[in-house]
Chains A and B, each alone.
Chain A
């Protein structure tokens, strides 16, 4: 499936600001299942862009705007092709949960087994994960059980949380948005020593197009498998993956510092269209 996406972020400051240094994680991955055919990043006031790949291989664009300005526009245009990926059958049992400790030996999974900025592995998370997976003996089955539990027990309430809400508060209040669903699921998986990472991306549905967040879990012998606790499903061709990390803090689409007033408004819009060509 091919998608055309325009992602626009517009900041308006109450007074002139200057010395603005920013990084953007807006360019999607190209991998086995997803190809970026076209990507263009536009910044206004105009700035020179440089990019590098971060610790988790995400593409990061850098730009600085030194002169005083009162608005900032960051807009990405992209075309991406998603290949159909066969789902892993929900009845499969590929790896015994009792042997999940061996997953830690794979390279580059250390970070996805630890606590991170928004994810904790407290006794509360651990107990919840144990309860949910009571009687489950397979890693994949455990991950599915945790996803179903998150979906069934957390209520999706738009604007009930902020970008900085910690997963412990979400577990307590049982409500949030996709980012919070993902964080809670990460805490539950990691408590069981199942490596789990955060994915930021886009989801194109019939009703709305928006930025979205889900998780990937590592099933030894199979690889990283995506799961979406918000919709209780395995992501398909309607999911476009932008960046991965330990949690939201590693993949925020735009972050930066500037000098000047803290008073400002931010306006985000995402348009996703099915492309026929």
Chain B
């Protein structure tokens, strides 16, 4: 009945609301049952299958605008949670927002039970194969496995042979990509054993989908997934070589540029583990330690998101900068457990698939319950013959993780390509497999107006427990972007869905946040910050204040600059310009006579200091740097802080035309920027606990502010006409003290009072002394500095003592003598001490990370 309708599968972005179309009679008006593929929603009689009927019923009850509203909410939730996927080779938008289709994929309870049993059997089998390959190698000796299948793989890690895995588990996590063929059967199309990713995205999808469809979620009795993650926590804890209440578990990430970094940060936070990079860890006497500000802390379990061959530059790939030297030996000594175990990548080779039915009978004594897509490994003679005869019907793939490229399966082979492929297979048969083409089943997706069938595949997740494998009741459903429906890649722009497993009985609420019956130890400290993160927070603070100071100086300069009489107005803002020049942001601005002549040229110069991405020190570059730093500490800051920085960066980097902007518009942009920075600094002050991360952020901010204040005061003192109230007024405006000054003195600014307020007033949060006092206060809460370094504590004491001795009243007379006063000397010495202080902080606290960053690791 649906086949006469035109199919509309394009246009995910709907403009249905604006067009005011006649309301469709049914959500399924554009849902043709496909003949070639299995449809998850419609049975052969064209009616929804029983396990979908409740959801479809509920969706039909919502009006179309209501569904659209919920779908938009869904996108907003994804955006707000910052769910992203990094796309390789995409220079502009490295982070791509995660695509989530609001309509869940539902699997019937009976069917799920069967799948579960098959998945558990498969995980158990693959684990046993790994235990043998890295141990006795009986399977190879008795010819169940060909040596090439194991030894020709770059993923077979020879140094890990004979390392006994904790409780004989290599695969702590396992994921399988499943697809349903037109006859309704489920097949495994790929195994994930190296780093099974996606469970975090499945969790994020669940949180968003259950929020926009709460009624159907409740009424369908959908299994919760939180229980699965509790199993994950428990089983990782079991792996710790030390007593469990002391055990420390960390997640090892390759860093923010990895494609699934969002998921890593998200999962680490959800599971309560620290997200660390290789350089945060070190090996001492065959034990693994985390480098924190308070010293080294032992690590028991590493949840690995770095490819195993990159984990140790000593014994594995020696070009790796992501790993930890000595890690393999620490594993060998039994002092740390890595999940998944090093070397577990070999069984995800598709070449293994053709051996699994036989191995299942041999190892488990059972028939393989869940079939794999038909696979031929060319390393076997009969298989090779078959493949060479049926090249056009099969998809040829690399058997192992190599740089081998194989033809695009979506395009027919030319005669020349076929010949070349044949020759290559004959020359190096071990490296190739061929698989049957898969026709994916289709499931309903929201296209902005109604439901349309789109090809789907399911990634299921398993965790090893002390009591066998457990399957997440749910999973990550991936949706193919086009009608081809042969394979799905998030890299190539697919979308995703939540996966619902219906229960026949009501399910209990479940969340990781309050595990019933378990006492948790209350913790109030946060004093185990990795040195690398302390370093990043410090610079985040510095750059946020650098942005703030720059924006303030430029705003006041633009406001006070009068193009009508360029040369006349200039002197009033000379100290401001001098400050920007000293900081390298307006190089030579005061030395270029042509700028004094032409108001346009001068204004253009100021605008360039704001918007020009090619000018060192421009506000735009500072915002870029701020964004990069925020990204490096993203798993340690709130979503709000991240969003403020993202917006700030977007605002400054979008208009390339802004170089021809009017000064007035630029003032607006600067004011907006200052509000964003105030929001960021306010969020830091009010929403971060007073732990080490906050201290280093604030120290960076204070230090940078002191630098700009001193530079500005110094420039003022050197200017002959500085007693001019207009000059001093500009200073007060830059440091946001005009109101304070007026309420205190009720007169035109004069120098001693201004210097007292901005240099020496310890109640003024924008005075130099205030910054020094705050820095000293932070130092009292930090662990001891490393010995031998220039002591930051001492530098601060000297600065404070010097400032406290100073009396600004000596500026009451004769501006021409100012450069020789005590005030001037103190400012000069403070300016010299601040970079020393910054170096002392780096040497005292970031030293381990600094070495690995500047020094080079070399191989003897």
Which A residues contact B (CB, under 8 angstroms)? 11, 18-19, 21-23, 48, 50, 52-55, 62, 64, 66, 107, 110-111, 114, 254-262, 266
Closest chain A residue to B146, Cβ basis? A110
Apart from the given pairs A21-B325, A114-B152, A262-B856, 8 other A-B contacts in the complex at a CB distance below 8 Å: A22-B860, A48-B285, A50-B329, A55-B158, A257-B325, A258-B858, A259-B855, A260-B855
Closest chain B residue to A256, Cβ basis? B860
| Distance between Cα atoms of A18 and B285 in the complex (Å) | 14
Q: Give the chain A neighbours of B860 by CB distance below 8 A.
A: 11, 22, 254-258, 266
CB distance from A267 to the nearest CB of B (A): 13
- Chain B, residues 277-294, CB within 8 Å of chain A (1/0): the string is 000001111100000000
Instruction: Report yes or no: A54 in contact with B158, Cβ–Cβ below 8 A.
Output: yes
Q: Give the chain B neighbours of A110 by CB distance below 8 A.
A: 147-148, 151-152
Contacting A66 at CB < 8 Å: which of B151, B162, B284, B858? B284
CB contact under 8 A between A257 and B857, given known A19-B325, A64-B285: yes
Instruction: Report yes or no: B851 in contact with A52, Cβ–Cβ below 8 A.
Output: no
| Distance between Cα atoms of A19 and B278 in the complex (Å) | 14
Which B residues contact A (CB, under 8 angstroms)? 137, 140-141, 147-148, 151-152, 158-159, 161-162, 282-286, 313-315, 318, 325-326, 329, 332-333, 851-852, 855-860
Q: Give the chain B neighbours of A18 by CB distance below 8 A.
A: 851
| Distance between Cα atoms of A259 and B283 in the complex (Å) | 13
| Distance between Cα atoms of A114 and B151 in the complex (Å) | 10
Contacting A255 at CB < 8 Å: which of B285, B326, B859? B859
CB contact under 8 A between A257 and B284, given known A23-B315, A50-B333, A53-B162: no
Kindly list the 8 A-B residue pairs having the minimum CB-CB distance in the complex, ordered from nearest: A55-B158, A110-B147, A21-B325, A21-B326, A110-B151, A259-B855, A257-B325, A262-B858
Closest chain B residue to A109, Cβ basis? B147
Q: Give the chain A neighbours of B857 by CB distance below 8 A.
A: 257-259
CB contact under 8 A between A55 and B325, given known A114-B152, A257-B859: no
| Distance between Cα atoms of A48 and B161 in the complex (Å) | 23
Instruction: Report yes or no: A256 in contact with B859, Cβ–Cβ below 8 A.
Output: yes
| Distance between Cα atoms of A19 and B848 in the complex (Å) | 10
CB distance from A49 to the nearest CB of B (A): 11
Contacting A257 at CB < 8 Å: which of B137, B161, B286, B858? B858
Instruction: Report yes or no: B329 in contact with A62, Cβ–Cβ below 8 A.
Output: yes
| Distance between Cα atoms of A50 and B161 in the complex (Å) | 17
| Distance between Cα atoms of A257 and B315 in the complex (Å) | 10
Instruction: Report yes or no: B332 in contact with A257, Cβ–Cβ below 8 A.
Output: no
Subset of 9 A-B contacts with CB under 8 Å: A21-B329, A48-B285, A50-B333, A53-B162, A66-B284, A114-B152, A256-B860, A258-B860, A261-B855
Contacting B283 at CB < 8 Å: which of A21, A111, A255, A256? A21
Main secondary structure of the interface of B (DSSP, over half): mixed
| Distance between Cα atoms of A23 and B318 in the complex (Å) | 13
Q: Give the chain B neighbours of A19 by CB distance below 8 A.
A: 282, 325, 851
Instruction: Report yes or no: B161 in contact with A55, Cβ–Cβ below 8 A.
Output: yes
| Distance between Cα atoms of A21 and B284 in the complex (Å) | 10
CB distance from A73 to the nearest CB of B (A): 13
| Distance between Cα atoms of A260 and B855 in the complex (Å) | 5
| Distance between Cα atoms of A266 and B859 in the complex (Å) | 13
Instruction: Report yes or no: A256 in contact with B314, Cβ–Cβ below 8 A.
Output: yes
Q: Give the chain A neighbours of B161 by CB distance below 8 A.
A: 55
Q: Give the chain A neighbours of B137 by CB distance below 8 A.
A: 107
| Distance between Cα atoms of A258 and B326 in the complex (Å) | 11
| Distance between Cα atoms of A66 and B859 in the complex (Å) | 16
Q: Give the chain A neighbours of B855 by CB distance below 8 A.
A: 259-261
CB distance from B636 to the nearest CB of A (A): 25
Which of A55, A66, A260, A266 counts the most chain B CB atoms within 10 A? A55
| Distance between Cα atoms of A114 and B400 in the complex (Å) | 16
Closest chain B residue to A64, Cβ basis? B326
Q: Give the chain A neighbours of B851 by CB distance below 8 A.
A: 18-19, 259-260
CB distance from B573 to the nearest CB of A (A): 48
Closest chain B residue to A48, Cβ basis? B285
CB distance from A126 to the nearest CB of B (A): 12
Q: Give the chain A neighbours of B314 by CB distance below 8 A.
A: 21-23, 255-257
| Distance between Cα atoms of A165 and B286 in the complex (Å) | 33
CB distance from B752 to the nearest CB of A (A): 51
Closest chain A residue to B284, Cβ basis? A66
CB distance from A218 to the nearest CB of B (A): 14
| Distance between Cα atoms of A62 and B327 in the complex (Å) | 12
CB distance from B286 to the nearest CB of A (A): 7
CB distance from B424 to the nearest CB of A (A): 15
Closest chain A residue to B329, Cβ basis? A62
CB distance from B278 to the nearest CB of A (A): 12
Q: Give the chain B neighbours of A114 by CB distance below 8 A.
A: 151-152
Q: Give the chain B neighbours of A21 by CB distance below 8 A.
A: 283, 314, 325-326, 329
CB distance from A55 to the nearest CB of B (A): 4
CB distance from B5 to the nearest CB of A (A): 58
CB contact under 8 A between A111 and B141, given known A19-B325, A54-B159: no
CB contact under 8 A between A257 and B313, given known A48-B285, A110-B151, A111-B151: yes
| Distance between Cα atoms of A11 and B152 in the complex (Å) | 36
Closest chain A residue to B430, Cβ basis? A114
CB distance from A222 to the nearest CB of B (A): 21
CB distance from A188 to the nearest CB of B (A): 19
Which of A11, A21, A23, A266 counts the most chain B CB atoms within 10 A? A21
Instruction: Report yes or no: A55 in contact with B159, Cβ–Cβ below 8 A.
Output: yes
| Distance between Cα atoms of A255 and B312 in the complex (Å) | 13
CB distance from B230 to the nearest CB of A (A): 37
Q: Give the chain A neighbours of B282 by CB distance below 8 A.
A: 19
Which of B148, B283, B858 counts the most chain A CB atoms within 10 A? B858
Closest chain B residue to A18, Cβ basis? B851
